Amino acid sequence: MGSKEISVGADRFLALQWANFAYELFVSSEEMKTSRKILREYLEGQMLGQVSTRKTTDQLIRLWLYPSDPYSALRDLTDSFSRIISKAQMPVLHLGMAVNVFPIYYETVRVIGTLERITDQISTKAISMRVVERFPTTSSIPRTVDRVLQSLKDWGFIENADGSITVKKILLQEPKLVNWFILATLRATGQNEITLLELENCPLKLGINFTHPRSVVNESEDLFFSRNHQGIEVVRLKTQ
């Protein structure tokens, strides 16, 4: 996987309640101008300061409310099952979108997921050092990584203490959410296919595990089982 350039504005802490609020605006189908105004006023009530409010608003809009970027189809799919998932599952949606929309989230999560296969406790310094290698401008990256880690902790994916993090285990059981997160993973990595073993070990999943992924794919309108040129069974994206 090639390096991605860092996106402007992807350097804010995104509290879970703020991301949830942005998502609720998305599913309410408000016009973009109205949603921006509502979100801005909501964040002003969080006492962030003028500059931070503006930047945080922009980043949350890019996460959930941007109307015409390459990730619109992925966002739109969530509307079909938004009413059947609980508040406790909503962070999975934020993670799936963040690793697609923001290269800094993609790289940070990828590094955490890779290191987590090696050790239970991961140094935050080691994470920053590895993420820095992926970006041409490095001076601001450690601070940005800290904000990503802060967000991932607030979303419930990691614990962070004494300069190291541990990844929390999360079990996804809702088939539509599992299907969506597999789609989000494939699109974030730029792949059209993946084996079940590769999917199980994909670092972008962090500590997320799926129940019955085979049955999910068999029932999916977006995915299907096939064989690659080596004859290995893979999960593949259906062409639109």
Q: Are residues 59 and 46 in the same domain?
A: yes
Beta-carbon contacts of 19 under 8 Å, excluding residues fewer than 6 positions away, are: 60, 63, 64, 90, 91, 94, 155
pLDDT at 75: 95
Among 5-14, 58-67, 74-83, where is mean pLDDT lowest? 5-14
Kindly report which listed range (27-31, 122-126, 209-213) carries the lowest average pLDDT score: 27-31
pLDDT in tens, 137-151: 778 889 999 999 999
Of 29-38, 59-68, 123-132, 192-201, the range with the lowest mean pLDDT is 29-38
Do 161 and 202 have their domain in common? no
Mean pLDDT of 200-225: 93
- In this prediction, residue 82 carries a pLDDT of 83
Instruction: Classify 42 as helix, strand or coil.
Output: helix
Q: Specify the pLDDT at position 240.
A: 53
Q: Which pLDDT score, from 0 to 100, does residue 47 have? A: 74
Q: What is the mean pLDDT of residues 4-17?
A: 72
Q: pLDDT by residue (tens digit) across 135-192?
A: 877 788 899 999 999 999 999 999 998 899 999 999 998 999 999 999 999 999 999 9
Residues in the chain: 240
Q: What is the count of structural domains for the chain?
A: 2
CA distance 203 to 214: 19
Same domain? 210 vs 129: no
Q: Look up the pTM and report it.
A: 0.93
Q: Where are the beta strands (DSSP E) in 64-163?
A: 122-123, 158-161
77-96 per-position pLDDT tens digit: 998 888 888 889 999 999 99
Distance from C-alpha of 131 to C-alpha of 127, rounded to nearest angstrom: 6
For the domain that residue 204 is a member of, what is the CATH number?
1.10.10
- Residue 190's pLDDT is 93
The reply to whether 115 and 186 lie within a common domain is no
Q: Are residues 80 and 124 in the same domain?
A: yes
Q: Is there a single domain that holds both residue 28 and residue 132?
A: yes
Provide the mean pLDDT of the chain.
Answer: 90
Residues 182 and 164 placed together within one structural domain of the fold = no
Answer with the one of 155, 170, 185 that is the final residue of a domain: 170
The pLDDT assigned to 138 comes to: 75
Q: Are strands 223-227 and 158-161 parallel, antiparallel or unpaired?
A: unpaired
Q: Which range (47-51, 162-166, 198-202) has the least confidence?
A: 47-51
Helix, strand, coil in percent for the chain, rounding step 5: 55, 10, 35
Q: What is the domain extent for residue 180?
A: 171-237
pLDDT at 70 over 60: yes
| Whether 157 and 65 share a structural domain | yes
Local structure of 233: helix, strand or coil: strand
DSSP at 1: -
